[in-house]
Amino acid sequence: MSKSVFITGGAGFIGSELVKCLLEKEDFKITIYDNLSSQVHLDFYKTPFYHNIKNKVNFVCGDIRDFELLSKSLKGHKIVFHFASETGTGQSMYQTDKYLDVNVQGTYNIIKASKKNDIEKIILSSSRSVYGEGKYLDENDLEFYPKPRDFNLISRYGFEIKYQNKKIRPVATDENSLCKPTSIYGLTKLIQEDLILDSNIPYIILRYQNVYGPGQSLLNPYTGIMSVFSNMIYNNKKILIFEDGSQTRDFVFIDDVTKINFNSVVSNDLLNEIFNIGTGKKTNVLSLCKTISSAMGKKNNFEITMKHRLGDIRHNFADVKKIKKIIKNFNTINLNQGVEKFIKWFETQDVPSSLFQKSMNELIEKKLYK
Ligand SMILES: NC(=O)c1ccc[n+]([C@@H]2O[C@H](COP(=O)([O-])OP(=O)(O)OC[C@H]3O[C@@H](n4cnc5c(N)ncnc54)[C@H](O)[C@@H]3O)[C@@H](O)[C@H]2O)c1
C-alpha cells in the first residue's frame, strides 16, 4: 500500500528536495501544503519543479495559519513532514508577531489537525538556532553555556564570547546541550519542538545546521547566507561581512539532508528522538565568501563591517555522533565540493537582483545592526 505523506512548506528548498526524492524512490501519495510566500518564491507555477510534480502530487496553496483548510487537506494522510516556517533570524527580531503566528500557532494548528486525523508520525524541521551560542568548555574542560552577547556592549568587549576573563572555547554542540536561543526565530523553533514533544504524537525532530545547495531560494535576502552571498557576488555588489568575519557556521549540503529526511519518512529508526543534522565542521564566514567568489571566478569584493546584527550567534557547529550511530552511512560532502555543485546550478538560474540592501535598511532603521 502506498504511504501518504503531507508536507508543509513542500514548495520550499528542503521540502521540495524531499518531494523529488520520494517521487523517485517509491510509491507515495504526497500532498504539498504551502502558501508560496512571496519572500521565498518568484513565480512558483513557472518553475521546473512545479512542472515536474503537478500531475504527481496534490498541491494545496494554503497557509498553516488557516486551521480549517489545513485540517481538511490533512485528511487521509499518515505522515506529516513540517517544513513551513518563517526562517529569518534578523527579521524575527522585528516581525515578531508574524514569526510567533506562523511558527508557533501554525505548528500548533498542525498538531491539532494531526490529532483529529490520526496522524502516525510528525517529522519536524528544527534548527541549530535552538541552542543559541551552544556548548563551550572552560579552562578546566567544564561545560559552559554562554548567555546571548550583550548587543550594546559587543563593540566595547569584542565579538568573541568571554566569561569572567577566563578562556573558553566553542566545541561541537550535542543534542543534550542546553537550549538558549538568542533570537525570536530560535525561540519559535524551540517552542515548535516543545509543542511536538507535548503532543503525544510519535515524532522525529531534526535540528539542521546551515543547509545549502541547488534549489535554495535566490530571492530571499533574510536568510541563507550561501545564496545571499552568491547573489551579491554575481551582481557585482560588495559583500558586507558582519562582525570580523571569523564567526563560524556548519554548512551541510542539501543531498545529505535529504537522505536523512527520506529515511525519516520510510523508517522508524529515528523515531521519538532529536538529532543534529550537520557536518560537525566549522567554516568561518569570511572564508565562505572567498570560496564562493573563487568558485564563480570573481575577485573578492567584501567589506569587514565590524558591526553586529542582533540575534546572531558567534559560533556553532554540530556534534553528529548521535545520527551517525544510527545511520551508519551518513557521510557529508565537503564544503568545496558542495559550493561547486551549488554554483554550477546557480549559474543556470535567472538570478533575481539582490534584495539584500532592503533587508539591511530594515535592520538599520530598527537599530538592530550596529
Ligand atoms: N535552510 C536552512 O539552512 C535551515 C536551517 C535550519 C532549519 N531550517 C528549517 O527547515 C525548514 C525549511 O527551510 P527551507 O530552507 O526549506 O525554507 P524555505 O523558505 O525555502 O521553505 C519554506 C516554505 O514554507 C512556505 N511557507 C512559509 N510560511 C508559510 C505558511 N504560513 N503557510 C504555509 N507555507 C508557508 C514557504 O512558501 C516555503 O515554500 C524551516 O522550518 C526552517 O526553519 C532550515
Q: Mean pLDDT by 10-residue block, N- to C-terminus, for the chain (370 residues)?
A: 89 98 92 97 95 97 98 97 96 97 98 97 98 94 91 83 85 97 97 98 98 94 91 92 95 98 96 98 96 95 92 94 94 96 95 82 85
Contact 19, 30 (CB under 8 A): yes
**pLDDT of 74:** 98
- The pLDDT value given to residue 154: 84
State in Å: Cα 15 to ligand 1 middle: 8
What is the distance in A from the centroid of ligand 1 to the CA of 82? Answer: 9
Q: Map grid coordinates 510519535 to a residue.
A: 202
Annotated active-site residue 99? The verdict is no
- Write the residue with the smallest CA distance to atom 11 of ligand 1: 83
Smallest CA separation from ligand 1 atom 32, residue: 63
Q: Which CATH class is domain 3-365?
A: alpha beta
Ligand 1 first shell, C-beta below 6 A: 8-9, 11-15, 34-37, 40-41, 63-65, 83-85, 87, 102, 106, 125, 127, 208, 210-211, 217
Which three cell numbers, joined as nine digits, stand for 98?
508574524
Give the pLDDT score at 326.
Answer: 96
C-beta of residue 83 within 8 angstroms of C-beta of residue 123: no
DSSP states of 169-212: EE-PBPTTSPP--SSHHHHHHHHHHHHHHHTTS-EEEEEE-EEE
- Nearest atom in ligand 1 to the alpha carbon of residue 15 is 16
pLDDT score at 1: 53
pLDDT of residue 150: 87
List the catalytic residue out of 50, 94, 136, 185. Answer: 185
